[in-house]
Amino acid sequence: MTKYYEHRGITIYHGDCRETIRALGPSLVADLVLTDPPYNASNSAVDFAEKGFSAVDEKWDKDFKIDFVSEAWGALSATGSMLVFCSYHLLRDYLTWQKPRQIVHWHKANPFPAIAKVYTPSTEYVLWWTKGSPYTFNKSFAGVDYITTPICAGNERTEHPTQKPLTLIQQLLTVHAPERGLVLDCFMGSGTTLRAAKDLGLKAIGVEIEEKYCEIAARRLEQEVFDFN
């Protein structure tokens, strides 16, 4: 692993998350794991390149297994929580590993229409596990288990194919992260979790195996204010 970026409590490591967590050892004690791993959704024939989006057809997605969860779980504090984005492709694997406290649903207000003769997919899951009590849950900000936001677009959008919207991540952090807590994102991607953590005054560690996304995330963290108009 390589420390790629560090500034005011926000750190990026370039490397495999499992190796990085093991290397950091007992010095890493996270209050919350919030991460968006690969979905094993490669080989799709759908491509939205003309709109700035493209299908995922990458080795890191094809080869992905959920074995990272044990490493991430071990890095949590005794009262920490873990939130993992998931599609139906891997839902059974996660449920077999450990039953979550709850499944939150992210509903995309503006999903891409389905090309095939199926319902248009508009929902992804966020699996929520708690390690012990008292776990952090700011109920006044939680609402129902169904969060609706648009997908990423405009100036917020980067070249990362599965980027989550900043507003969605900010809401999850507001509910689940303790004040001035440490957030770990094992699959940092373009750095949305770290950017949201910075905006909310949280500490964060992000791990990303693709260096080009480390660079994108570092650039996003250097921006003090976003303009999404």
Q: Report pLDDT digits (tens) over 114-140.
A: 888 889 989 999 999 999 999 999 999
Residue 1 has pLDDT above 80, yes or no: yes
Q: Which of 208, 143, 226 is nearest to 13 (CA)?
A: 208
Strands 30-35 and 76-86: parallel
Name the percent of the chain in helix, strand, coil, to the closest 5. 30, 25, 45
139-171 exposure pattern, b = at least 16 Cβ within 10 A, e = fewer? eeeeeeeebebebbeeebbbebbbbbbbebbbb
Where residue 187 falls (left for φ over 0; alpha for ψ -120 to 50; beta otherwise) is beta
Q: Which of 130, 107, 114 is nearest to 45 (CA)?
A: 114
pLDDT at site 127: 98
pTM (two decimals)? 0.89
Domain boundaries of the chain, sorted by first residue? 2-222
Reported CATH class of domain 2-222: alpha beta
DSSP class of residue 222?
A: H
pLDDT at site 45: 41
Residue 112 has pLDDT above 70, yes or no: yes
Mean pLDDT of all residues in the chain? 89
Which of the two residues, 1 and 41, has the higher pLDDT score? 1
Would you place residue 40 in the very low, low, confident or very high pLDDT band (cuts 50, 70, 90)? low
The pLDDT tens digits for 3-34 are 999 999 999 999 999 999 999 999 999 999 99
Instruction: Tell me the C-alpha distance between 121 and 134, whole Å.
Output: 36
Residue 187 has pLDDT above 90, yes or no: yes
